[in-house]
Amino acid sequence: MDIQRIGVIGAGQMGNGIAHVMAVAGYDVTVTDISSDALANAMKTIDKNLERQVSRDTISAEDKAAALGRIATTPDLTQLGGSDLVIEAATERETIKQAIFEDLIPHLEPHTILTSNTSSISITRLASRTDRPEKFMGFHFMNPVPVMQLVELIRGIATDEPTFEACRGVVEKLGKTAATAEDFPAFIVNRILMPMINEAVYTLYEGVGNVTSIDMAMKLGTNHPMGPLELADFIGLDTCLAIMNVLHDGLADTKYRPCPLLTKYVEAGWLGRKTKRGFYDYRGEAPVPTR
C-alpha cells in the first residue's frame, strides 16, 4: 500500500513528535486535537525542534521549511478521513481512545489503516471496537520521538500481513528501527521499564534511599543516562501509574502492584515535569528533590 497522507490524533508531546518525523520523511500530515491551544503549541514545538536539527546540520533550512509546509492542523477530527494511515496519540485511557475511533470511523476511506501509539493497552481489544480489526495495529513510538530510534509494532490477533508490512515500511522510511512485539500488556519496552521505575519508587517509599541517592546509584552504578525517578517525571507519573495498572490487571501478578507512593503523587497532581512537580520540583532554576 502506498501511504502518503498521515493523520495524527493528539497534539501533545508524542503527537507533535510523530508529526515532526513524518513531515521530515516526506509525508503530508494532518494533526488534530480538541484544544486549539495544544495545536498552536505543537507547531511552535515542532518549529523549535526542527531549528535545533538545522543548527546541528542534521537537516537543511530548506528541509525545515518543506517539513513545516507538509503539516496542517485542525480541531475537526473528521478532517483526518482522507488519511492513508491514522496514528492515535491521545491520553493513555482506553475509553477515550475508543470514543475517538468511534467518532472517526464513519469518515474513513475503506483502505485507511488505523493505529494506536498506546504504550500498554490491548491492541486486539481496541481493534475489536472498530470496523477494521484487520487494518488495526499498535504503532508505539518512544519519547522524544525525533531522537529515539525504536518503534514497537504490535499486531492484534486480527491484524493482516499487508497492514503490518505497510507500517513497517513507514518505520523504515523514517530511518527508525522496528521491534515486533506480541499483544500482551505493555508489550516489550514498558513491560521491562515500568516495573524498574515502580521498584525505584518502592525503594524510595521504604526509605532505602532518597531521590538523589536512588537516581545517582542507577546513573553511576548501571550507566543509565537518566535516573529512574527523573525518568518517571519525564514520562509523567500518571502514565507510569496507568501502565502499572494495565500490567497488574492484565497479568494478575502481585509483582506488578503499583507502589502506593506513586499513587499518592498522582492523587496530589504531582505528575512530573508537565505539572512542575513530581519526584523533583521544577519550579526553580534547577530541579530539587521532593523527598
Task: Assess contact for 61 and 54: CB atoms under 8 A.
Answer: yes
Q: Which CATH number does 190-289 carry? A: 1.10.1040.10
Q: How crowded is residue 129: how many other Cβ atoms within 10 Å of its Cβ? A: 15
Give the model confidence (pLDDT) of 245-275 as tens digits: 999 999 999 999 999 999 999 999 999 999 9
From 16, 49, 116, 119, active-site residue? 119
Percent of the chain at pLDDT > 90 equals: 97
Task: Assess contact for 265 and 272: CB atoms under 8 A.
Answer: no
Residue 206 pLDDT more than 80? yes
Query: C-alpha cell of 286?
Result: 534547577
**Can 119 be counted among the known catalytic residues?**
yes
What is the torsion angle, in degrees rounded to the nearest 10, for the CA atoms of residue 235, residue 238, residue 242 and residue 244? 70
Which residues have a Cβ under 8 Å from the Cβ of 22 and sit 6 or more positions away? 6, 8, 29, 174
Distance, in Å, from the CA atom of 291 to the CA atom of 285, rounded to the nearest integer, reads 18
**pLDDT value for 72:** 98
Task: Assess contact for 262 and 268: CB atoms under 8 A.
Answer: no
Residue 156 pLDDT more than 90? yes
**pLDDT value for 232:** 98
**Can 152 be counted among the known catalytic residues?**
yes
**pLDDT value for 92:** 87
* 119 marked as part of a ligand binding site: yes
Give the model confidence (pLDDT) of 100-125 as tens digits: 999 999 999 999 999 999 998 999 99
Q: Is 56 exposed, middle or buried (0-12, 13-18, 19+ CB in 10 A)?
A: exposed
**pLDDT value for 267:** 98
- Can you give the length of the chain in residues? 291
Residue 67 pLDDT more than 90? yes
Rounded mean pLDDT of the chain? 97
Cross-strand pairs, 6: 29, 85
**Can 140 be counted among the known catalytic residues?**
yes
Q: Spell out where 175-223 has E strands.
A: 177-181
Q: Is 81 exposed, middle or buried (0-12, 13-18, 19+ CB in 10 A)?
A: middle
Mean pLDDT of 220-246: 96
Mean pLDDT of 152-171: 98
Give the model confidence (pLDDT) of 75-100 as tens digits: 999 999 999 999 999 988 899 999 99
Give the distance, in angstroms, between the CA of residue 190 and the centroid of all CA atoms in the same chain: 11
From 83, 116, 122, 190, active-site residue? 190
Distance, in Å, from the CA atom of 67 to the CA atom of 255, rounded to the nearest integer, reads 45
**Can 134 be counted among the known catalytic residues?**
no
Q: Which CATH number fits domain 5-182: 3.60.150.10, 1.10.10.410, 3.40.50.720, 3.30.420.40?
A: 3.40.50.720
* 65 marked as part of a ligand binding site: no
Residue 71 identity = I
Give the model confidence (pLDDT) of 26-37 as tens digits: 999 999 999 999
Domain ranges in the chain are: 5-182, 190-289
Per-residue confidence at 282, pLDDT binned at 50, 70, 90?
very high
Residue 235 identity = I
Task: Assess contact for 190 and 184: CB atoms under 8 A.
Answer: no
The bridge status of strand 85-88 relative to strand 71-74 is unpaired
Give the model confidence (pLDDT) of 175-202 as tens digits: 999 999 999 999 999 999 999 999 999 9
Distance, in Å, from the CA atom of 42 to the CA atom of 13, rounded to the nearest integer, reads 8
* 210 marked as part of a ligand binding site: no
From 20, 49, 122, 152, active-site residue? 152
**pLDDT value for 194:** 97
Residue 168 pLDDT more than 90? yes
